[in-house]
Amino acid sequence: MRPLSRLNVEITVPGSKSYTARALVIGALACRETLLKNHLRSADTAHMLQGLEALGAKFLETPQGLLIRGMGGKLFVPTEPISLGGAGTAVRFLTTAASLCGRRVVIDGSQRMRERPIQDLLDALRPLGIVARSLNRNGCPPVVIEGGQFEGGKTKLRGSKSSQFLSSILLASPYAREGVEVEVTESLVSQSYVDLTMAIMRDFGAQVTHENYRIFRVLPGSYLGREYMIEGDFSSASYFFAAAAVTGGRVRVRGINPCTKQGDRGLLDVLEAMGCRVSYGDSSVEVTGGSLRGVDVDMKTMPDSVQTLAVVAAFAEGTTHVSGIEHLQYKETDRLASLKQELEKLGIQATVGDNCLTVRGGRPHGAEIETYMDHRMAMAFAVAGLRVPEIVIRDSECVNKSFPAFWALLEELE
């Protein structure tokens, strides 16, 4: 990494990872064809495509976009276990979708994936007629879906570890034999991602409602294939907004929706509170850096931006206190422990509590940053390298999980 002398750029980020993952599942389940435009191409989406193809879905890259030949909810039985690498979203979403095969399916992942809990989802599926279990009996993948039918009915789901468990059930629920009702117990984390799930489901014709984010209902039916534009990714944009913040420069990101349901849009409000200037266009957002100050913020709805904010906070005057983030320990790595360790390498004091992270701003210095093969660690700490010399990012290729073009875009800055 090398620091920038100035920053005044306009860039375009790739399609949303969250929208792409949900649209791929819905398109595969839908009646008729779906054409996805501006979909994200990354390691995680490749794993999702691979998993859906194993279940019988057909995909074709065309000049207009990705053509999906929907299966109307009638999936094939794979001949081998479906291995999805480190793609946690694919593992969770396909655990419920694979139940539509009505036969035994095994879903597996990388070694880290085998350490990430999924038992809450498996427990919630049983009352709906889906018998699924952890093969190693530790509540983690590999997952075995034993067969049976997605009958529907009522179930309860703990919402404190991952909103993707709820999204997994909702996405497949139009194809249950009867309506599905999910009661969320405990506090629902990352609520914004559930909003996004429901919005896409409705865009494809599903009937889904909720009562105060505690009771969710999906009526029997089907998805109808259509042409669908994937909006730009706010998580990817966040690193460039942060670049403007730490360098005092200006970044305009095109191709994103200022009124998006993506939770990471909330980082813009945080940056504004820290002293940046934010302005909005019809399909763009511009951030100009200013004198940064620490803030207190609840990031329950924008967990993927916590690492980005922590790096910005390292350059701010005063202390930044981040709460609502206890579930980050279940991500690609234990993100709270990793953040503390890597910030301290930069000479920045950081403290981790049960549900919070506190960062005391200072004068970061160069260091070799361990990413733990976590794409968001790599991209967040790369931002620090735009201002501080001699920052080295290890295993930098891990960004391919969500943003393969990240390093190329970063080199174009100035």
Ordered structural domains, the chain, with CATH = 8-14+231-411 (3.65.10.10), 17-229 (3.65.10.10)
pLDDT of residue 65: 98
Nearest to 295 by CA among 277, 280, 278, 312: 312
Q: Which helix (H) or strand (E) holds 62?
A: strand 58-62
Chain Cα centroid distance, residue 247: 26
Which residues form the catalytic set? 304
Q: Which residue has the tokens 């794409």?
A: 375
Average pLDDT over residues 126-138: 96
Long-range contacts, stretch 131-140, CB < 8 angstroms, 24+ apart: 132/95, 132/99, 135/106, 140/113, 140/114, 140/115, 140/116
Q: In the predicted model, is pLDDT for residue 111 greater than 80?
A: yes
End-to-end CA distance of the chain: give it in Å, rounded. 14
Q: Are 14 and 40 in contact (CB under 8 A)?
A: yes
| DSSP string across 103-122 | S-EEEE--TTGGGS--HHHH
Please, what is the Cα angle at 29 between 53 and 103, to 5 degrees? 70
Q: In the predicted model, is pLDDT for residue 160 greater than 90?
A: no
Q: Are 313 and 343 in contact (CB under 8 A)?
A: no
What are the pLDDT digits (tens) for 269-313? 999 999 999 999 999 999 999 999 999 999 989 989 999 999 999
Euclidean distance between CA atoms 206 and 380, whole angstroms? 36
Average pLDDT over residues 319-340: 80
What are the pLDDT digits (tens) for 200-222? 999 999 999 999 999 999 999 99
Q: What is the pTM of this model?
A: 0.94
pLDDT of residue 350: 97
More confident position, 160 or 167? 167
Q: Which residue has the tokens 């389940």?
A: 29
pLDDT of residue 327: 65
**Which amino acid makes up residue 99?**
S
Euclidean distance between CA atoms 74 and 28, whole angstroms? 10
Euclidean distance between CA atoms 182 and 250, whole angstroms? 45
Query: HSE on the CB side for 100, CA within 13 Å?
Result: 28
pLDDT of residue 304: 92
What are the pLDDT digits (tens) for 348-395? 999 998 889 999 999 999 999 999 999 999 999 999 999 999 999 999
Helices and strands counted in the chain (H then E)? 12, 22
Cα distances (angstroms) measured from residue 296 to each of 103, 187, 300, 310: 50, 20, 13, 12
* Helix 17-29 with 234-247: angle, nearest 10 deg: 180
